[in-house]
């Protein structure tokens, strides 16, 4: 698909609170594990919503790494038992992570919350 030369690329809308929490995560990961970078960023869509899928059970640290590597605002689904302690819960809250239990209705609600959030983003970018 050819790009429209008259289309002005829009930066994804990211809330101020999310940017602050992402900066904290980037600072922490940058000092602790070296540079955080995305491999093959050209394969990501330039605008609109996207779904990133981890092919194995993800951890809280992996969710933080995704947040640090991406410029757009993410909604990460993270198993509740992966988020330990009040500091990690505060960071998860600040990054709008959806915490879920691996069984029961809680998982279904977490997926619905993330889907609804993705739908709202898609409707804002389409208009």
Per the structure, how many domains does the chain have?
Answer: 1
- Residue 1 has a pLDDT of 46
| Host H or E run for residue 28 | helix 16-33
Residue 2 placed within a domain: no
Report yes or no on 117 lying in a domain.
Answer: yes
Threshold 0.85, pTM exceeds: no
Please check whether residue 45 lies inside any domain of the structure: no
DSSP characters over 69-116: H-SS----EEEGGGS-HHHHHHHHHHTT-EEE-SSSHHHHHHHHHHHH
In this structure, is residue 119 part of a structural domain?
yes
Whether 41 is in a domain gets the answer no
Q: Tell me, what's the pLDDT at 90? A: 95
CB atoms near residue 114 (< 10 Å) = 19
For residue 94, pLDDT beyond 80: yes
Does the pLDDT value for residue 3 go beyond 70? no
Furthest-apart CA atoms within the chain: distance in Å: 49
Residue 50 is assigned to a structural domain of this protein:
no
**What digits encode the pLDDT tens for the residues 6-53?**
444 445 578 889 999 999 998 888 766 666 666 776 666 666 666 676
Q: Is the pLDDT of residue 101 over 60?
A: yes
Is residue 11 domain-resident?
A: no
In a domain, 28, yes or no: yes
Exposed, middle or buried: residue 91 (CB in 10 Å: 0-12, 13-18, 19+)?
buried
Q: Is 8 exposed, middle or buried (0-12, 13-18, 19+ CB in 10 A)?
A: exposed
Q: What is the pLDDT of residues 40-89, one digit of tens each?
A: 766 666 666 666 766 666 788 888 888 888 877 888 888 888 899 999 99
The boundaries of the domain holding residue 64 are 16-35+56-126
């Amino acid at each position: 698909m050819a790009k429209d030369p008259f289309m002005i690329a829009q930066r994804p809308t990211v809330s101020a609170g999310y940017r602050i929490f992402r900066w904290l995560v980037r600072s922490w990961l940058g000092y602790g594990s070296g540079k955080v970078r995305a491999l093959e960023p050209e394969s990501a869509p330039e605008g609109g919503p996207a779904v990133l899928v981890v092919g194995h059970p993800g951890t809280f640290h992996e969710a933080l790494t995704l947040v640090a590597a991406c410029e757009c605002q993410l909604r990460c689904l993270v198993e509740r038992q992966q988020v330990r302690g009040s500091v990690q819960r505060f960071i998860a809250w600040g990054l709008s992570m959806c915490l879920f239990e691996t069984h029961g209705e809680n998982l279904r609600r977490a997926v619905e919350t993330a889907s609804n959030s993705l739908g709202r983003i898609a409707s804002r970018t389409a208009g």
